[in-house]
Structure 1
Amino acid sequence: MLYSTFYWIHICSYLLWLLAFAGSLFFASRVRGEREPSRKRTYMKRERLATNLGGHLGAIGILISGSMMAGMPGGPQWGWFNMQLYPWLAIKQSFFAVILVLIGFSIRRNRAFRKELNREETQPSDKTARKWNAAYRLSLLVYMLVLINTFLGLVKPF
């Protein structure tokens, strides 16, 4: 019972992360296509909000639920990093460790973007746009690793 609860938290966290990815792509496309500065600013803020809420909450949910599931006797006995028996899990966990490190850098870039955005009144400057672009590119890298991680979890290729 308890294992299945954490299993569904794990699945919902991944879905939240993937929905954040879709939201991030949507708002980034709006940023790139928008010519009006105030709306561009709004789309930048919304893209960062989608990444922060969905991506970071998803990561926390996966970290906590995955740790709990690994230590419970109720589900599959993957164990805590039994790498020789499950090489796909070793690669998946390595990707997740890289993702967590990149999220730390993403948070720093997001703070720099927020600080620059708060200095301005209505329209984003080139410096703000560059800071948003840097934060967005890093979050795209994280999302790509999440997709690879999801694929490894679903397919278990080796």
Structure 2
Amino acid sequence: MSSQLAIPTLSAPRWVADLNSPPAFKSKPSSIPDPPGYPSSQVSSSSKKKDASKAITQRKAPTPDEMDTLKVKKAWEVALAPIKGLPMTGVMMYMSGNSLQIFSIMMVFMAFKNPIMGILATGQAFERFETETNRQKILQVKLAYIVMQLVALALGVWKVNAMGLLP
């Protein structure tokens, strides 16, 4: 009495079969051009490698004058960064009111702490931009940075005065 049990054969779900054998690449319609800088997908991989190596070799190293100019521009961006946050800080201080509450006290603390810490860290903020040839220009940028920090500090003094804490 041997009874044979019928074992159903389980087939893999369709998504498993789709993962194991992805659909063939469909070429795009020719009416849509490639974006600038991207080669056509119909170009062979060997010509892509040649184009990439040619693009790398065509780029020339920047001259020291160009590097100094770029460093001074980046230093100016760092120098002007404190002034860009002042409108938001001013609105927050205005909206916090003039009474002695925890939020307004925290705002005043931050209004004094951030500019003072910025002034103390001026050398560190600009040391990566300074070279022997651009030392005078970076000195001007540092002075502008300190002036921007003093303007931010003046906003804190305005808030303390508005709260009635200045004599």
Common fold, TM-score beyond 0.5?
A: no
- The TM-score with structure 2 as length reference comes to 0.33
- The TM-score with structure 1 as length reference comes to 0.34
Bigger-Rg structure (1/2): 2
Structure number with the higher helix fraction is 1
